[in-house]
Amino acid sequence: MAKSYTHNYTPKKLALESRQNVDTIRKNAARLGAIDLVEMCDRDLASRPSTKSKRNHEIHPKHSETDVVTGYHFVCERDRGVTQIGDGRFWSGSWVVAEVNVKNSLKYGAYLALHESKSDASYRQGQILNYRRSPRDMLEGNESSPEVKTEEGIEFLVQETNEPYAWVGTATGEKGYRWTKIVSTPISEVAAEVAPP
């Protein structure tokens, strides 16, 4: 007979917890099979006011025209959506990022790093060689997570390297950017200048 998980949480006790703590409680309850607690957490989270738009303005500083994303960090369960293509290269899976940032990043030799969590060093990383638009089929939206609305994302072609990266970025969620103020010529333009005619 399977052991059932017991808890002493009530809606009032959950309401005293932070949103992040309730999220963690929910994940643990789901892992342990405590369906009643999962449902209680879902109700609690749904009843809380959304602070997403306010938080975005506070966390995401404005960047100037000379700022470029030179590093992309994503929380990604081990190789979720990753496709190995040989010669140490892989496609990253589809991520929601601004295409204009990606185009600029390619000029400056940007890297990509995949992490199990923000507190872990990257387990897969490398220099971004190219990108393509691709469907967002890695994530499934559901009733408790209706914010997954973007149907198309960016998939990065990456030349893998061995040296892991620590997490960079201050935003909430699954991605972080390393912004760099650029004051010199892009790598791609320097290479074109020194290449023989």
**Which is nearest to 92 in space by CA: 102, 103, 81, 78?**
81
> HSE on the CB side for 13, CA within 13 Å?
7
- Tell me the backbone φ, ψ of residue 38, rounded to 5 degrees: -60, -45
**pLDDT tens readout for residues 124-168:** 999 999 999 998 765 544 444 445 456 789 999 999 999 999 999
pLDDT at 132: 96
Cα 78 to Cα 24, 56, 161, 162, distances in angstroms: 20, 27, 16, 16
How many other C-beta atoms can be found within 10 angstroms of the C-beta atom of residue 82? 16
DSSP β-ladder status, 111-115 and 152-161: unpaired
pLDDT at 2: 52
- Tell me the backbone φ, ψ of residue 145, rounded to 5 degrees: -135, 60
Highest mean pLDDT pick, 12-21, 151-160, 181-190:
151-160
Judge whether 71 and 165 are in contact, CB under 8 Å.
yes
- Tell me the backbone φ, ψ of residue 167, rounded to 5 degrees: -60, 140
pLDDT at 59: 45
pLDDT at 143: 47
pLDDT at 149: 54
pLDDT at 175: 92
Cα 156 to Cα 13, 69, 72, 96, 125, distances in angstroms: 43, 14, 10, 11, 11
pLDDT at 106: 94
* Dist. CA 71–CA 151, nearest whole Å: 23
What average pLDDT does this structure show over 106-119? 94
* Dist. CA 101–CA 67, nearest whole Å: 10
**pLDDT tens readout for residues 38-92:** 888 888 888 887 655 444 444 445 666 778 999 999 999 888 999 999 999 999 9
